[in-house]
Amino acid sequence: MSTQTVSTCDIKLHSSTSKNGTIQSPLFPGPYPPRTECKYEFQGNGRQRVQIKFTEFTLPSSDGDDCEQLDVLLVYMPVKGKYEPVETLCGDTLPKPLMSNGPRMLLDFRGRHSGKGNRGFKADYVFLENFGIISGRQIPDYQCSFVYNSSYETSGWFHSPNFPGAYPRCDEDSSSDSVEFSNFNSVDRKFQKYCSKIPKGFTVKSDGKFFRITFRSNDRLDGTGFRASYTFEVEKPTTEIPSLAIDNSNSSSELCTLMKQGNFKTDSRLQILHGSSKEFF
């Protein structure tokens, strides 16, 4: 399939036509016309999500954080079958990646003003099913499950969907987003549920060959999630230990039990370390 570059207004992009491409404001990289309004609607298939990564974002800015009366790019997601606004982007700071909570997303660009410095925006889009997680091996029978096996990699990183951008929301009926650790396929009472910040220097170690990390999000909180390192280590004389480190955080996904069967399988054990003091959700 071809890669599309489009800049005219009211565009519909379907994954059956192109799974990736570029969108941009009218006349980019020149200034967009005054009183511009353009809609960019994305439609995927099945389990596909659309992820958008901005390469340029130059709209008029102000001294405060308020986007009122400024040129804006509004982000809409379907909620109960109807598009609802979830984020307003303005100014000249490059936004973090966006990810839809399902196969559809709508961007509404409203350029009230025009000027030589108002170049607008340019972004790459892709329809994907891996939630932007490229480490581990995705399990096709589950929507958001990844396996990490020491026979492939003895150390590495994993993160929440769309990191460092906000993870997509889910319809999980809970008051907060959370991460759980377990040595089993079920709940492990040895570990508490983490719903806020991870302590500085946080480390967790498996008791055996298997370790599971489950990430859940609800339908009303947004965050940038987490990133963690893991290491499979050999415990003398015969055992190995896997290891994990929480590095970044802030969290929401689709009852996306991140690493639902996120097994750290090996003939050894797993340890998770090198935590930092950043926010978790």
Q: pLDDT of 152-188, one tens digit each?
A: 999 999 999 999 998 887 765 556 788 899 998 888 8
Are 159 and 181 members of one domain?
yes
Predicted local confidence at residue 72, as pLDDT: 95
Are 12 and 99 members of one domain?
yes
Q: Is residue 250 part of a domain?
A: yes
- The one-letter code for the residue type at 172 is E
pLDDT surpasses 50 at 273: no
Are 223 and 145 members of one domain?
yes
Q: Given 82, 100, 128, which residue is the final one in a domain?
A: 128
Predicted local confidence at residue 281, as pLDDT: 35
Cα 14 to Cα 7, 123, 176, 180, 190, distances in angstroms? 16, 16, 33, 36, 46
CATH no. for residue 65? Answer: 2.60.120.290
Q: Which helix (H) or strand (E) holds 126?
A: strand 120-128
In 3-state terms the chain splits into helix, strand, coil percentages (rounded to 5) of 0, 45, 55
Residue 69: burial class (beta carbons within 10 Å; 0-12, 13-18, 19+): exposed
Span 254-264, average pLDDT: 40
Report pLDDT digits (tens) over 4-22.
544 458 899 999 999 999 9
Cα 163 to Cα 14, 84, 92, 227, 261, distances in angstroms? 24, 22, 21, 8, 20
Name the residue with higher pLDDT: 257 or 121.
Answer: 121
Q: Is residue 69 part of a domain?
A: yes
Tokens representing residue 160 in the block:
């929440």
Q: Count of domains in the chain?
A: 2
Q: Given 95, 128, 161, which residue is the final one in a domain?
A: 128
- Domain of residue 24 covers 4-128
Tokens representing residue 200 in the block:
């500085």
Q: Specify the 3-state DSSP secondary structure of 251.
A: coil
Q: Are 176 and 183 in contact (CB under 8 A)?
A: no
Residue indicated by tokens 């790019």? 73
Residue 254: burial class (beta carbons within 10 Å; 0-12, 13-18, 19+): buried
Q: Provide φ and ψ at 194, rounded to 5°.
A: -100, 120
Predicted local confidence at residue 171, as pLDDT: 61
Which among 137, 158, 155, 181 has a CA at the least distance from the CA of 234? 155
Cα 136 to Cα 67, 130, 148, 159, 178, distances in angstroms? 39, 11, 5, 11, 21
Are 142 and 260 members of one domain?
yes
pTM exceeds 0.85: no
If you count DSSP H runs as helices and E runs as strands, how many of each does the chain have, helices first? 0, 20
Q: Given 128, 154, 171, which residue is the final one in a domain?
A: 128
CA distance 275 to 248: 8
